[in-house]
Amino acid sequence: MTRARLALFTVLYAAEGAPIGFIWWALPTVLREAGLPIERITGLTALVLLPWVFKFAWAPAIDVLRTRWWGFRAWIIAAQGLMGLTLLPLLWLDPVLHFEVWRALLLLHAVAAATQDVAIDALAINSVPVEHRGLLNGCMQAGMLTGRSLFGGGALLVAGLFGRNLILVLLITWIWLALVAVAFAAEPETGSAVHSDPRTFRSTLFDALRRRTTWLGLAFALTSAAAFEATGQLAGPFLVDRGVPSATIGLFFGIPVVAAMLLGGLLGGVLADRWGRRRSIVTFLTGFVLTIVLLAAQETASPWILALLTAMYFFVGLFTVASYALFMDLTDPRLGGTQFSTYMAATNGCEAWSTWVGGRIAGSAGYSSAFTVMSVVSLLSLALVRWMPIGVRTPAPAITGHPSPGR
């Protein structure tokens, strides 16, 4: 795989991560400083996150509605154009006085951003050979983390110095600059009947639903990350209760965590291609479970707590890249948007249920019990990997990467 292609998807995923960082991390703080009640802020953020949860519902349109002149690139360009346009009016609208307009525009922005996600994933699955998907996911995760970091924590720094409007200007510029990269992307071949005939698409989809690997992949996505998802959500309160100062906690999540996940993602991509998916996933999952079990043993303030959490996030970076490469391998390229988005929705489902269950266990039996129970769930998910016919040398459905006639 060429460096140009790696650079392309790194840039696209940086554009994909920026809106998430802004909405998840920066927006609540900015709106609170503007004087909005906390109930309205949390209601808004909950609403605009829904498109990322349910994007699989309209993902089939991206797979089906493709022609000689309208492909994945066109979907990405249209989505990114709309993402910027929906943010422009916010430059002169007050979030308190025009809250309803802010909510409507941000929801539309989130729908466009989630659609962009689906189209970029589908383009990657249809363009990159299976033996390079680990490295691809490593670079894409690096781009995603960079975008989230710059427009999450970085945006708050900018807002404090220059005001919230500069954040919006920079975010719009960041998104639209990515359109230049899209112009150099090669569109996969669109001549297959599956792209023009909905009945053929349905037949392909039903074939995927009848395959055992599809359901094994969904079950793995719903369970494998339970340990680190629950631990990550409980980490802040856990550190507070162990006597770690809030300033130290903020610095920890701002630098070491991002650095550990970034390094793990890049290394994990290389190892997932070299070792194969099964060996990589087993090794990386065992790694983050081991660090979480050791963390569960820290009943009092200890210098090992931050070191163990940093190690956990390093293994999380390794595991995330390897598991995403696995989900790409399990995805039929003809269903690139639909099937892969469904796997991603399942990973979001894992985050939701494990956080809820882990919180209930921690509240009644303590952090150690929550970390241990969720670790057992993650370890049990390895049984699912055993039954999957995976490996980088396994032939995938035909993948082509010829430029479209319109280039």
The model's pLDDT over 122-133, given as tens digits with 9 standing for 90+, comes to 888 888 777 777
- Distance, in Å, from the CA atom of 375 to the CA atom of 103, rounded to the nearest integer, reads 38
Q: Where does the pLDDT of residue 189 fall: very low under 50, low under 70, confident under 90, or very high at 90 and above?
A: low
| Angle at 95 (CA atoms; ends 92, 101), nearest 5 degrees | 80
Mean pLDDT across the stretch 378-395? 74
Q: Is the dihedral of CA 378, 261, 147, 77 positive or negative?
A: negative
Q: What is the mean pLDDT of the chain?
A: 82
Amino acid making up residue 403? P
The pLDDT value given to residue 87:
94
Crossing angle for the helix pair 133-151 and 153-162, to the nearest 10 degrees? 30
- Which of 26-40, 92-106, 115-129 is predicted least confidently? 26-40
Among 183, 152, 150, 233, CA closest to 76: 183
- Distance, in Å, from the CA atom of 314 to the CA atom of 45, rounded to the nearest integer, reads 28
Residue bearing the bigger pLDDT, 160 or 213: 213
Mean pLDDT across the stretch 253-277? 86
Mean pLDDT across the stretch 11-30? 79
pLDDT of residue 48 exceeding 80: yes
- Distance, in Å, from the CA atom of 58 to the CA atom of 321, rounded to the nearest integer, reads 25
Provide φ and ψ at 141, rounded to 5°: -65, -35
- Distance, in Å, from the CA atom of 15 to the CA atom of 179, rounded to the nearest integer, reads 9
The pLDDT value given to residue 131:
76
Q: In the chain, pLDDT over 90 holds for what percent of residues?
A: 29
**Secondary structure element (H or E) that encloses residue 234, with its range:** helix 226-241
**Secondary structure element (H or E) that encloses residue 67, with its range:** none
DSSP code per residue over 310-355: HHHHHHHHHHHHHHHHHHHHHS-GGGHHHHHHHHHHHHHHHHHHHH
The pLDDT value given to residue 312:
95
The pLDDT value given to residue 285:
97
- Distance, in Å, from the CA atom of 359 to the CA atom of 266, rounded to the nearest integer, reads 31
Q: Which two tokens stand for residue 212?
A: 């055992």
pLDDT of residue 245 exceeding 60: yes
Mean pLDDT across the stretch 240-260? 76
Mean pLDDT across the stretch 261-265? 88
